[in-house]
Structure 1
């Protein structure tokens, strides 16, 4: 029998086998469990509830009535040239992020990455995406870095070089969630460093899962700028208002 016919036949059989599998393993919504949208683990109703961020401060991503620069950033310019958040920290994102961060729920992370890709695709691309690192002691306890788990597929989808080694967390700090704004800044003083001799791009976009006061991102941006990076921006999955 002709080899081309054999190959064509095998392809048809493979396609026929995959068809019922697509039905058997159709996407399920990671929020409510209902059938998901095609190629997405989120149903139409939960997708409609995603809290996409609207008008916000261009320097800190704090929600505003209209886009611009908030009063605080005008009076105290931050070390970040710009911050872009995909979402406000609200349902269902405020449920999905903790599931990824504390419960090894990578399906929740996949949904967030799919949504962030759509939100960030039209932004100016930096030469490098750098996820905020965990200190090695916390990484050992948790087993994975949630910012890196989100940044890796995001960088791949948007074709941005990913350089997690460009920023290191040299000091184990207290959990930021337990501190007020002043203590957060003090807690992060000298927490980040750039390896000596690292090849530095001119433009870096930091990535983190959640931005609250911005103290962590600011400390990382200051370390990069001190090392010689000309422009540092940030992308975050969600911004706490």
Structure 2
């Protein structure tokens, strides 16, 4: 969520930007310093279909060659690793919305490599999880993107119709079972031909895949998935 105008003005007058990672003076307009911003792992070499970080650029990773995911393209500008994972954990699990604003600003400033969509849908939280957390981290990241791109955003179209266990505690197969039929569309929702689904982190892609299937079943021609960060493949 972008900071309000009055807060930006106050910051310029008396409260300097301060890096949320190392405490050094922040860069202009963000609570991160230039050095820590440079340390954030960029996802510059990745699979064109699922954004999985790769050692060398190829069109598709092995998994996408064997079984393409249900979405059409993916964009994930960062790799989920140090020190971005520290900011993400504070934002998602620690209630630190200031870290969320910094992450949203970083994402908003990255060049978008894909076609501009007609609608952005954040991955929804179940109402029980939303009450516990107080906000939906995917929505907080999606709002600045939607504003910067002048693309409509709807948070009341894609719905989570049942609670499920946290994905972080599950392996890849269990993640797929955990989110199966967990999402639905608002009845009589009218969707355009090109929709993007936004989340904070893509690990196995199970959540985004189930969301994409839900939207595709409604007749949407192209569904892309965007995530702030993509987790590298697990070894062993």
Give the TM-score of the pair, scaled to structure 1: 0.88
Aligned pair count reads 224
Distance across 1 between alignment mates of 2:229 and 2:58? 17
For residue 199 of structure 1, give the secondary structure of its aligned residue in structure 2: coil
1:77 aligns with 2:68: yes
CA deviation map 1:150-185 (0-9, x unaligned)? 111221122111011120000111111111111111
In structure 2, the gaps of 5 or more residues are: 1-7
Distance across 1 between alignment mates of 2:144 and 2:100? 10
In structure 1, the gaps of 5 or more residues are: 1-17
CA deviation map 1:133-161 (0-9, x unaligned)? 00011111111111111111221122111
**Matching of residues 97-136 of structure 1 within 5 Å:** 97-136=88-127
1:191 aligns with 2:156: no
For residue 77 of structure 2, give the secondary structure of its aligned residue in structure 1: strand
C-alpha contact 2:75 2:113 (8 A) present in aligned 1: no
CA deviation map 1:61-80 (0-9, x unaligned)? 11121141111111101101
C-alpha contact 2:126 2:160 (8 A) present in aligned 1: yes
- Rg larger in 1 or in 2? 1
Match of 1:57 in 2: 47
- Of residues 158, 164, 187, the one that matches 2:155 is 164
**Matching of residues 20-35 of structure 1 within 5 Å:** 22=12, 24-35=14-25
1:225 aligns with 2:216: yes
For residue 164 of structure 1, give the secondary structure of its aligned residue in structure 2: coil
Distance across 2 between alignment mates of 1:104 and 1:181? 27
Q: Name the structure with the higher helix share.
A: 1
Report runs of 4+ in structure 1 exceeding 2 Å deviation. 18-24, 120-123
For residue 232 of structure 1, give the secondary structure of its aligned residue in structure 2: strand
Distance across 2 between alignment mates of 1:81 and 1:105? 33
Give the TM-score of the pair, scaled to structure 2: 0.90
CA change 1:121–1:76 in 2 (3 A) is closer
CA deviation map 1:92-122 (0-9, x unaligned)? 2100111111112111111111111122445
For residue 109 of structure 2, give the secondary structure of its aligned residue in structure 1: helix
Distance across 2 between alignment mates of 1:174 and 1:152? 26
- The alignment yields a C-alpha RMSD, in angstroms, of 1.7
Distance across 1 between alignment mates of 2:61 and 2:116? 24
Distance across 2 between alignment mates of 1:19 and 1:194? 40
Distance across 1 between alignment mates of 2:107 and 2:15? 24
